[in-house]
Amino acid sequence: MTNYGVEMLWIVILASLGLSALAVLFSISRRRDSHAPAVARAAGEDVAAEAARKVMREFEKNGQSADAALVTWSPETLRKILADDLPDAQVIVVSNREPYIHNVKDNGVELVVPASGLVSALEPITRACGGTWIAYGGGSADRLTVDDNDRVPVPPDKPSYTLRRVWLSEEEYQGYYLGFANEGLWPLCHIAFTRPIFRASDWEAYEAVNRKFADTVVAEARNERPIVLVQDYHFALLPRMIRERLPEAIVIAFWHIPWPNSEVFSICPWRERILEGLLGSSIIGFHTQFHANNFTESVDRFLESRIERADAAISYGGQTTLVHAYPISIEWPAELLAKLPTVEECRTRLRDRFGLKADVKLCIGVERLDYTKGILDRFQALDELFTRHPEWIGRLVFLQIAAPSRGTLPAYQQLHDECMRYADELNQRYGSSDGYKPVIMVAEHHSQEQVYEIYRAADICMVTSLHDGMNLVAKEFVAARNDEQGVLLLSTFAGASRELLEALIVNPYDAAMMSDALLQALTMSPDEQRERMRPMREMVRDNNVYRWAGSMLLDAARLRKRSDLDRATGVTERPANTDSNIVSLFDRMRRVAS
């Protein structure tokens, strides 16, 4: 190596040592945070936000960052990013499912937190940022609990944001939610071999309901420049509707389910309208790069647009949209774990609840009763295991928690009946007169605390969806296991398998492979369980939901600064659809710089 090369090497080594020392100092200061006086705490938060920004800049440059894990992403980091990078921006979340449902029960009102990955991820974010969450009010007591403006402060015990409910007629709900969203887009986007159904009347309802939500966003916006977080496939048309009425808003659309390849997507009769609607966003997020690429390919195939692959940007209609992968996550459940019984107690309680022997191995599945989740395929794997290894009959029980979902749709009713039938069949074939039943199906809603107790009581958790954007159950299971025990069987077709690499990764369509993996899990030593569980727990703790939201907000801040610069320097976008009229992100940056 030349002298110059050696010098450069030393500079790089010294610079990274300096950065690491800073990062360690920073993480120590974060740990001391709770005991620090207010001023020191504020300084610590500054450092946290700056470190977060630095990580994201590194990430943008290199596609990854070695220091990312050293930043503790928390509600404070998020608040600081909002205050520093997006001052005075009002946060508005829009989703179909509301975070808190009020139902009439026993002459009173019962509060329910729905079984929804979207809700468990977005709720802590909205709590941290404040603002307004607009959602469909579907609970039987929802109208009784709002004020004159259809608003209710939540969370009920310690309000920190406003839930604004939107009312839908029976026809709207039928056409927009059950019809177009769940009989059309849901099967279109998931490879589960359920045929999508597209009806013109459903599409009309979908469009009308998207417009109703756009009206509500405009009504709730305090000024022209809110940040609107549009959630999921219920609102593909909403971003453009908002853009038309609030051109200066930042609209971030997050698609929580997979995006199909362009050939599958072409089935949808309103494919161009859906793409155009979504391209009203400033940013469109997916859980995986694969789904982001599928989206870009669909745009390439069906719209006259300019695609800047190196920038992950699409220019359409004179506007640029970033298309990125932001893997969603959970809030690290430190407080919840502190409240929950020990793993030993959870095991005893669950075994008592279902009358299981103390030494029986417990395998669990936890999800909504949905045909994308691969529940029947799990039963088949169990069947295969008992056939090939009958020594496990009597020593293994599979508990399926299946929250009722979309129960009026024929595909869901059929799944419910098939699950019940197959569970009965397995219990008859492998059960015994002493009360042993290998399959327990509980088709009931469970609270977050109850679900975490079940995670802690299990020996094995099967998250074996046929197809899934992310599947947060996998992340919740590892987060719940602070004893570093338990084995996760994870579908290669769930987004989580891109991150939880130490799980036993399986193909849910291959019953023989799944039964082998079950056997491996049943016979895995506690040491190996720990070896696998520890890095997965670190991954989920470091890449928590605040990091997910923080990276989108930092990207949004970049976009806002750039468009403010454009405006200040007179750079305007022109009507699009001809190559010469479209200005790429890079072109614009270069023009502003010069």
Task: Give the footprint of ligand F6P on this chain (CB under 6 A).
Answer: 96-97, 116-119, 232, 256-257, 368, 405-406
State the distance between the two ends of the chain, measured CA to CA, in whole angstroms: 39
* Closest to ligand F6P by CB, 346 or 473: 473
**Residue 138 to residue 103: CA distance in whole angstroms:** 9
329 DSSP assignment? -
Half-sphere exposure of 249 (CA within 13 A, CB side): 32
Strands 161-166 and 151-154: antiparallel
91: alpha, beta or left? (left if phi > 0; alpha if psi -120 to 50): beta
Report CA Rg, the chain: 25
* Closest to ligand F6P by CB, 44 or 239: 239
**Residue 274 to residue 345: CA distance in whole angstroms:** 50
To the nearest whole angstrom, how small is the minimum distance from the Cβ of residue 182 to ligand F6P? 6
**Residue 317 to residue 23: CA distance in whole angstroms:** 43
354 DSSP assignment? T
To the nearest whole angstrom, how small is the minimum distance from the Cβ of residue 395 to ligand F6P? 34
Contact, 558 vs 312, CB < 8 A? no
To the nearest whole angstrom, how small is the minimum distance from the Cβ of residue 96 to ligand F6P? 6
To the nearest whole angstrom, how small is the minimum distance from the Cβ of residue 254 to ligand F6P? 10
- Give CA 94 to chain center in angstroms: 14
Sign for the CA dihedral angle at 529, 532, 535, 541 comes to: negative
To the nearest whole angstrom, how small is the minimum distance from the Cβ of residue 489 to ligand F6P? 21
Residues 6+ apart with CB under 8 A from 510: none
Contact, 88 vs 227, CB < 8 A? no
To the nearest whole angstrom, how small is the minimum distance from the Cβ of residue 207 to ligand F6P? 19
- Give CA 586 to chain center in angstroms: 30
* Closest to ligand F6P by CB, 190 or 437: 190
To the nearest whole angstrom, how small is the minimum distance from the Cβ of residue 115 to ligand F6P? 7
* Closest to ligand F6P by CB, 284 or 439: 284
* Closest to ligand F6P by CB, 257 or 576: 257
To the nearest whole angstrom, how small is the minimum distance from the Cβ of residue 504 to ligand F6P? 24
Contact, 379 vs 91, CB < 8 A? no
Amino acid at the residue 73: W
Residues facing 494 on adjacent strands: 468
To the nearest whole angstrom, how small is the minimum distance from the Cβ of residue 469 to ligand F6P? 6
Half-sphere exposure of 47 (CA within 13 A, CB side): 19
191: alpha, beta or left? (left if phi > 0; alpha if psi -120 to 50): beta
Strands 313-316 and 91-95: unpaired
* Closest to ligand F6P by CB, 155 or 431: 155
* Closest to ligand F6P by CB, 370 or 453: 370
**Residue 205 to residue 172: CA distance in whole angstroms:** 5
To the nearest whole angstrom, how small is the minimum distance from the Cβ of residue 197 to ligand F6P? 16
Q: Which residue is nearest to ligand F6P (CB)?
A: 116
Contact, 296 vs 224, CB < 8 A? no
* Closest to ligand F6P by CB, 118 or 461: 118
Amino acid at the residue 497: S
Tokens coding 125: 């974010």
* Closest to ligand F6P by CB, 470 or 524: 470
* Closest to ligand F6P by CB, 161 or 186: 186
To the nearest whole angstrom, how small is the minimum distance from the Cβ of residue 112 to ligand F6P? 12
* Closest to ligand F6P by CB, 139 or 317: 139
The stretches of 309-397 forming alpha helices (DSSP H) are 334-339, 343-353, 375-388
* Closest to ligand F6P by CB, 70 or 292: 292
What distances in angstroms separate CA 505 from CA 319, 468, 499, one per listed residue? 40, 14, 11
